[in-house]
Structure 1
Amino acid sequence: MSDPTKALGRPAYRPDIDGLRALAVVPVLLFHAHVAGFGGGFVGVDIFFVISGYLITGIIAREIDADNFSIIKFYERRARRILPALFAVVAFVLIAGSWLYLPGDFEGVPRSALAALGFLANVWFFMQAGYFQSSAETMPLLHTWSLGVEEQFYIVFPLILMLIAKFAPRLRLAAVVALAFLSFAWAVSKQADSDGFAFYLLPPRAWELMFGALLALGAIPQIRNQFARELLSFAGLAAIVASTLLYTKDTVFPGVTALPPVVGAALLIHCGPQTAVSKLLAMRAPVAIGLISYSLYLWHWPLIVLTEYAQDEKLSEVQSIVIVSLSFAIAWLSWRFIEGPFRNHSNFERRRIFAWSVGGMAALSAASLVLVSLGGWPARFTEQSVRYAEGVHDISPARDACLNDQIGGARPECNLGAEVAPTSLLWGDSHGVELAWVLGEQMKVKGRSLAQRTHASCPPALGYEAPSRKTCAEFNRAVMTELEANPDIKTVYLTAFWASDNYRNSRVASQLPQTIERLQQAGKSVILIGPVPPQGFQVPRRLAMRGPEIETASRASYLAKTNWLTRKFTAWQQTGVQIIDPADQLVQGETTIIVADGQPLYFDSHHLSVAGAKRVLAGGSQL
């Protein structure tokens, strides 16, 4: 049998690799469309990286070895492959965003378009938001981060291979192995960080592309035994399927957890094409999806994001089916009428493809810059809609400085109010930030100050282990130690997102009473700020788009989410705990209140705005 995986021989067309592209793009699509069971669908991007590294490195290495590699020719191929469909998607997003997006959300659209056009989207989104954060769901070009990683890699990697070929040709394989190892080590060292560095940026992602590159360079010996090939290809498929089905947005990723999809893709490439799995991938349907996979990847995310933005809620099951189907239809049209013609050399010879590329990039960049100059372009909306939309900015000026989001221990000296030693301390998660600011302003008038100790996703309950914040327990221990060591702090405010499923379904119900008891034993007066009714939609956006006459969360749903805590209020009050119940100000009859005096009381779906915090703390009787 001939060797189908020989590193640098001119390869025959591999339909199974097109099928592997389908195995990569479909989980991504279903994950983004909220289809149940595909919580790890994001690993499809990692599969794409392996495929890209394998195919493109094979081309580069063959041409370098034949002494006919041309950077110009290489980038001509990249331009034909990448730019036409990307230009179409960027133009669509700019037009749709100009029509649909509210000022605060629109500001980022043309900026992200510029980043996507410059293949710096991964850097831009790293600086803006995490991939799994709620704010990412309003970014219609978020998915172009992967193009940024890939194109940055192909700016550097061909040059590295050329230099190695000129000065140390025998060290090519060893050099790529070393670079891949360093990249992987970097990814592992950063995998637990929540800042997005390991997810978005090239250095900790390059090893995935180099994994495919090593296949192309012959780093892995040929597997001649057919049974072993069959077994390994099945193992590769199982690794991909398992990570797709078992991973979730809470999985620490990438890093070690990226190994199963990456190794799985490498095994399928290396052991094909004459295995049962590769023959399955080479069937007509997977190959057809693989051929349109690039357009499908580009188009599906803007369709999902724009639809959800327009209705201000997640896709329903029926809508998911419609959007998935529409994505396939548009992807085929894009492949047939945009990708195809530009790949045809008879339609666009080299000079013309570069002219179109430069012209398209210049036109779209100019349009983006004009839109950037307009700010959020508020003139598109009524003054009241703009005021509602600006509610997203009604946050504590000290939010960034005083909210512990990544590291352990209490933040150093985050005091609010008068410039005196604090006699009170607010301890909680991100729900406490705006409350702390308002308390600080109230105390400033009285010549007093408040210490703020807040950690995202971390309730003030000793012993709580946050699934997404590994430093929570350490933070809480540090705050308690600080309180017990400081007799000048007489009053402690406890607050958190008590309606959170994570808190309700964990041991917080038993940990919180123990924490309160320990504070009282330390001589502290305890004030518990109760639960804020979550709304399930972005309040400023919903108000701006639909006005104040909208349906809000019901009293019944609020009680169902918070009864585990509120039923303890009476017993706690009997022990001296003072209760500030937001329901007194935010629940009216059988519904909840989200706006007062023309101001949103939330800056998102469940965090109080400063206006909301003022309403909850009105009167200052708790001081």
Structure 2
Amino acid sequence: MHGPARPDPLSAIRYRRDVDGLRSVAILPVLLFHAHVPGFSGGYVGVDIFFVISGFLITGIIAREIDAGRFSILRFYERRFRRIVPALSTMILAVLAASAWLYFPGDLEGVPRSALAASAFASNLWFFTDTGYFAGGADVKPLLHTWSLAVEEQYYIGFPILLMLLARFAPRGRVAVVGGIALISLTLAILMQRDTSGFTFYLLPTRAWELFAGALLALGAIPAVRVRWLREAIAWGGLAAVAFAVFCYDRTTIFPGITALPPVLGAAAMLYAAPGTSVGRLLSMRLLVGIGLISYSLYLWHWPLIVFTEYVTDLPLSGGTRTSVTAASFVAAILSWRFVERPFRDPARFSAKAIFSFTAAATLLIAAASLALMAQGGWPSRFRPEALRLLAARHDVSPARGQCHDNSLRGERPCILGARARPDTMLWGDSHGVELSYALSEKLRREGRALVERTTSSCPPVIGYDATDPRCAAANRAALDAIRADRGIRHVYLAAFWANGRFDDPAFVAKLDRTIVAIRSEGRSVTLIGAVPPQPFDVPRRLAHLAAQGRLSEALGVERSDVIARTIHLRGAVSRWRARGVHLIDATAILCPRERCDLLEAGRPLYFDSHHLSMTGARRVIAADR
């Protein structure tokens, strides 16, 4: 992924210790971010730094060999295969084996498919299409990190050919053409930076400019700066830009897009100016260079180790577990570098023919293992029936979820649920409202009544809420307009993920207050369905793990006091709303009748993931409202 990590006898490029040091600046934030180490909330930008380094090093090799008249596509891919395939294949096979041992049905089924995609350098395409509530989150995707390898290898399918064509037909236009394509890619990334489909994040068209940034440096697009103080300023400015992104960005930052400029330009600045400066000496320190040398293997192994550990423990990394997994990642990386990377990169030990044969054999082996696992259909016979029954709660969702949720985003009419009657009720909310809507419609059906469901993912029913996706605001405006336009709607229920940690904010509560006032000013009653306690684990999976170990009696939810602390501002507004006639369904009190919140009712899980109520849980909440 990261170009040669030590002097490569097959190229004429001069080895720079500071580049290996820069690799450590890329991999360490990624590792610490994935390990949930406080302070590294923007560590994911390390991948972008790797892209710049790769573009710089590989372009330098290609351009030198083209200019010398000795470039060979076959030789180029031999070097790429030496660098990428052996360690990657070893990791993929280990992941397949570990997944077959650890993963429940449903979680296992996606792993062999992603392994096939990763072995074909197409995993970014796979993960781009593998979306949705039931596709599984990052915590069950041990090969998710291979998307960046796929982006690089897809880039290197066409880039050498582009440089060869330019050398032949437009040698003086090389920088202009590459720069123009980079500008187009950057412009597309900025225009699509609010895209929520994953296109901007996963796919090459909006990522290519980051590799081109390094490529342009290698092609001499920027004249060398000889003034020492200016080189120092550029190098330190680059390091500061990277540090800004690593320490100031977080999961809510709109990324990539224009926000990718600081880490990308910062990395480019260090590649450009670091040699001979204090930054260059810093990056050339033995420890940083050593980490840089194993950075590819460290990137490959850290993510599966984190994912499997969190899967088995049902908890995010923290404390001693985090320290142990981080240490294990370094051990695995050192072993991979010493016994896999280095031997295969030595032409004296493995000829070109051997490398191509190994690549073909590794690909076939991964395909065979993946197809064998896929044929097992999740391999449920590995687990106790009780564990599988509890795990099935993942599908205890609203029968109308696929049909009725996110209708506004799809431009479809909202669903009417309940009896065959004109609806007099609306449930307006985010994804937390889906199962509650169906449970409420069951209650109304018995009364000969119906409701309208207006639920939109990640969109709380709050006018003025500043969502990442602008369609959220449009969906909320449409819901309020529908209330105003339909005098038959007499009752409005509001439901959302109130306890997610972001909504318990005075400014947000003030907007919710104004929304309630706007609904009541139209003469409609308002019922607020309170906070559903989020759990620190996937509930069906946690219960299945406990059942598989014969420890289901130990199933405990989060403490009720924690939920109350997460919703202190919202709860503080309840008395004011009640005084105005707003009705509250206190979901926290219903789901947490004791000190710890419940996870089961009559042996059935109350959640279908970590924070969405299953139909069992939703019926319990609605039934408690008298």
Question: TM range, normalised to the smaller chain?
Answer: over 0.9
CA distance in 2, matches of 1:471, 1:378: 40
- The equivalent of 2:223 in structure 1 is 221
My pick for the range that moved more, 165-174 or 14-23, is 165-174
- The equivalent of 2:241 in structure 1 is 239
Alignment of 1:180-219 (within 5 A): 180-219=182-221
CA distance in 2, matches of 1:310, 1:402: 34
- Tell me the amino acid that sits aligned with residue 539 of structure 2: V
My pick for the range that moved more, 388-397 or 230-239, is 388-397
- The equivalent of 2:345 in structure 1 is 343
- The equivalent of 1:47 in structure 2 is 49
TM-score for the superposition, normalised by structure 2: 0.92
CA distance in 2, matches of 1:243, 1:562: 30
- Tell me the amino acid that sits aligned with residue 441 of structure 2: G
405 and 165 in structure 1: CA distance in 2 versus 1, 3 angstrom threshold: farther
- The equivalent of 2:276 in structure 1 is 274
CA distance in 2, matches of 1:427, 1:413: 11
Contact 1:532 1:606 in 2 (8 A): yes
448 and 159 in structure 1: CA distance in 2 versus 1, 3 angstrom threshold: farther
- The equivalent of 2:496 in structure 1 is 496
Structure 2 regions of 5+ residues with no counterpart? 1-10
Please tell me whether residue 423 in structure 1 is matched to residue 424 in structure 2. Answer: yes
- The equivalent of 1:6 in structure 2 is none
134 and 268 in structure 1: CA distance in 2 versus 1, 3 angstrom threshold: farther
TM-superposed CA distance for 1:112, in Å, is 1.1
SS at match of 1:415: strand
- The equivalent of 2:582 in structure 1 is 577
- The equivalent of 1:456 in structure 2 is 457
Please tell me whether residue 556 in structure 1 is matched to residue 524 in structure 2. Answer: no
CA distance in 2, matches of 1:345, 1:10: 16
Alignment of 1:113-512 (within 5 A): 113-129=115-131, 135-404=137-406, 412-418=413-419, 421-444=422-445, 448-466=449-467, 468-512=468-512
TM-superposed CA distance for 1:441, in Å, is 4.1
- The equivalent of 1:592 in structure 2 is 597
Contact 2:185 2:207 in 1 (8 A): yes
- The equivalent of 1:610 in structure 2 is 615
TM-superposed CA distance for 1:413, in Å, is 2.8
- Tell me the amino acid that sits aligned with residue 464 of structure 2: G
SS at match of 2:623: coil
TM-score for the superposition, normalised by structure 1: 0.93
TM-superposed CA distance for 1:135, in Å, is 1.4
568 and 167 in structure 1: CA distance in 2 versus 1, 3 angstrom threshold: closer
228 and 563 in structure 1: CA distance in 2 versus 1, 3 angstrom threshold: closer
CA distance in 2, matches of 1:556, 1:272: 52
560 and 284 in structure 1: CA distance in 2 versus 1, 3 angstrom threshold: closer
TM-superposed CA distance for 1:485, in Å, is 1.3
Q: CA RMSD in A?
A: 2.3
- Tell me the amino acid that sits aligned with residue 79 of structure 2: R
594 and 173 in structure 1: CA distance in 2 versus 1, 3 angstrom threshold: same
Q: Deviations over 1:267-319 (max 9, x none)?
A: 11111321111121112111111111100110111111111111000111222
TM-superposed CA distance for 1:161, in Å, is 1.7
TM-superposed CA distance for 1:583, in Å, is 4.2
Contact 2:504 2:568 in 1 (8 A): no
- Tell me the amino acid that sits aligned with residue 560 of structure 1: A
TM-superposed CA distance for 1:479, in Å, is 1.6
Contact 1:104 1:389 in 2 (8 A): no
CA distance in 1, matches of 2:480, 2:282: 59
- The equivalent of 1:70 in structure 2 is 72
TM-superposed CA distance for 1:85, in Å, is 0.6
SS at match of 2:364: helix
Identity %: 52
248 and 571 in structure 1: CA distance in 2 versus 1, 3 angstrom threshold: closer
- Tell me the amino acid that sits aligned with residue 99 of structure 1: W
SS at match of 1:122: helix
Contact 1:193 1:406 in 2 (8 A): no
- Tell me the amino acid that sits aligned with residue 29 of structure 1: L
Contact 2:505 2:569 in 1 (8 A): no
CA distance in 2, matches of 1:603, 1:471: 26
Contact 1:464 1:507 in 2 (8 A): no
- Tell me the amino acid that sits aligned with residue 31 of structure 2: L
Contact 1:499 1:533 in 2 (8 A): yes
- The equivalent of 1:4 in structure 2 is none
My pick for the range that moved more, 564-573 or 265-274, is 564-573
- Tell me the amino acid that sits aligned with residue 18 of structure 2: D
Q: Deviations over 1:439-489 (max 9, x none)?
A: 3344456554322112333322333334x4454444323321221111121
CA distance in 2, matches of 1:170, 1:451: 64
Structure 1 regions of 5+ residues with no counterpart? 1-8
CA distance in 1, matches of 2:279, 2:498: 48
- The equivalent of 2:6 in structure 1 is none
CA distance in 1, matches of 2:404, 2:162: 44
CA distance in 1, matches of 2:61, 2:306: 35
CA distance in 1, matches of 2:382, 2:154: 37
CA distance in 2, matches of 1:286, 1:435: 53
42 and 565 in structure 1: CA distance in 2 versus 1, 3 angstrom threshold: closer
Aligned residues: 609
